[in-house]
Amino acid sequence: MNDAVWKGSGKGIRYAIIGAGMSGILAGIKLIARGETNFTIFEKGNDLGGTWRDNRYPGLTCDTPAHAYSYSFALNPQWSAYYATGPEIHAYFRTVATDRGVLPYIRYGSEVVSCNFDESAGTWAIGLADGGTCEADVVFAASGVLHHPNVPALPGLDSFGGKAFHSARWADSAVLDGTRVGVIGCGSTGIQIVNALSSRSARVVHFQRSPQWIMPVPQFDYTSEQKADFAKDPAKIEAIRRDPVYWENIYRFTDGVTDFNSPQIAQIEEICRQNLENSVKDPELREKLRPNYRAACKRLIYSWEYYECVQRPAVFVETGGIERIEPEGVRMKDGTLHELDVLVLATGFKADQFIRPATVTGRGGRQLDDFWAVRPTAHYAVSLPGFPNFFMLNGPTGPVGNFPLIDIAEMQWEYLTQLLAPVRQGEARTVEPTQDAFEAYEARRIEAAKRTIFGSGCSSWYLDKTGIPATWPWSYQAFVEAMAAPRLDEFHFAS
């Protein structure tokens, strides 16, 4: 049943990779590099790039420096600036996937709707939305975290006379220059959109439910001489990737977040507070923009320009509650009507979905949806008891923060390579963590998560539905060490 949909060739283990974003492309590159070409990447869209394909909003920038947000084995001397734009990053992934021979293995328009484990065969049956099916020995779910838009149930939304859309479903036909644009939401997305429109649109109303702490960061373009230097001497790129000041910031953040009373968090808070005090002149606006929760509780906004942009004459920060959407615009609870031509819902994502709504049925009929009834989780963020040979890249309980998820995926890949060695060598057919090992991990994780800054009393996409952070609660270094080698005694190998 493989023939119709399978792209892979050759003999050996059949790998199904779900998603052609950053992690799925990584998996493809790594398999090809070691001569394993019996794999298919199932991609529901018609292009690769994951979040960098879906998000096309004006101002889209990665909040991790470009040279750090690159595969370690595919450095890019051509990055135009310290922080790169979305289109540039999307193009980078396309180039790397093309150069490394991944494209022939991607099956586009192929939404995986089911993965069923066949216990007697020890294989996975993959079902696609178009009715296609195939069999695989190992599944890598690289389906991303932030890809199901959260569209709020705002009364009257359908009645809006202009264009209204979610930030990840950008309407290219929307006219932004010289028009009146409303932006709901103050996460990284809403802030970047407001920055971009502040000098283009006639009026930008930023509907702010919770203000954000803003971490000031530098931004600058690379000159053509610098790019030529990078191309000649990759050590110069490595020097940026390993820049001690950059890593000091990452460690300050990742060590600090593990304890909301840490001195590092106090330091981060002070930098952000000073940024607010020094950058926003109007006392009324300054107070509107002052958060009432701890810095880094929500994902920190890294921006070199937000405070400048928000003070431009076109921008108005609306802190009142939204009553409803009307054909002319947004009606506030106090009766004010903001007349608008375009309404952008920068309202985030359903971050607890991961591979769902696909159904995943493991050993003994275990349903992933049931297993994740309280919260999505996984043993060390990659594997699940009862789901043999089913692994996640950038899955639940992985590290989160302003550092490159590419590094996280690369570490997870090396860990999985070691874990799967007995399967590749034919010594075992399947591997999965034991229930006991998973439960012990999860109990420790939850206890630690409650002490992290993410659980210090704010709303964010980091929290599960019980209010506990669904994140890696230990330091970055602890993750590096955990991924250095799987504890094989925590796994069950079956032949």
Q: What residue ranges bind ligand NA7 (CB under 6 A)?
A: 146, 152, 184-190, 207, 209-210, 299, 346-348, 459, 461
> Which alpha helices (DSSP H) does 289-424 contain, by range?
306-310, 368-371, 405-419, 421-424
Spell out a b/e string for 135-172, using b for 16 or more CB atoms within 10 Å of the CB, else e: ebbbbbbbbbbbbbbeeeebeeeeebebbbbbbbebee
Q: Residue 152 CB, nearest distance to ligand NA7 (Å)? A: 3
| Smallest gap from residue 460 Cβ to ligand NA7 (A) | 7
Q: Which is nearer to ligand NA7, 346 or 420 (CB)?
A: 346
| Least distance CB 110 / ligand NA7 (angstroms) | 25
Q: How far is the CB of 461 from ligand NA7 (least distance, A)?
A: 4
Nearer to ligand NA7, 348 or 399 (CB): 348
Residue number, 186 or 420, with CB nearest to ligand NA7 = 186
Which CA distances in Å does 280 have to 297, 303, 370?
A: 22, 14, 48
Instruction: Give the span between the Cα atoms of 312 and 83, in whole angstroms.
Output: 23
DSSP 8-state symbol, 306:
H
Tell me the closest approach of the beta carbon of residue 251 to ligand NA7, in angstroms. Answer: 19
> Which distant-in-sequence residues (6+ apart) come within 8 Å of 397 by Cβ?
376, 377, 378, 380, 381, 445, 470, 471, 472
> Which residue's CB comes closest to ligand NA7?
187
* Choice between 154 and 431, CB closer to ligand NA7: 154
The smaller minimum CB distance to ligand NA7, of residues 5 and 400, is found at: 400
Residue 81 DSSP symbol: B
Closest separation in Å from C-beta 119 to ligand NA7: 38
User: Which of residues 58 and 348 has its CB atom nearest to ligand NA7 in the complex?
Assistant: 348
Using alpha carbons, list the distances in angstroms from residue 130 to 5, 21, 54, 123, 355: 10, 21, 21, 21, 17
Position of tokens 């955990």? 482
Q: What's the min distance (Å) between Cβ of 353 and ligand NA7?
A: 13
Helix axes 22-33 and 405-419, enclosed angle (nearest 10): 40
| Residue at 199: amino acid letter | S
Question: Of the two residues 217 and 231, which places its CB atom closer to ligand NA7 in the complex?
Answer: 217
Tell me the H-state helices in 128-203.
188-197
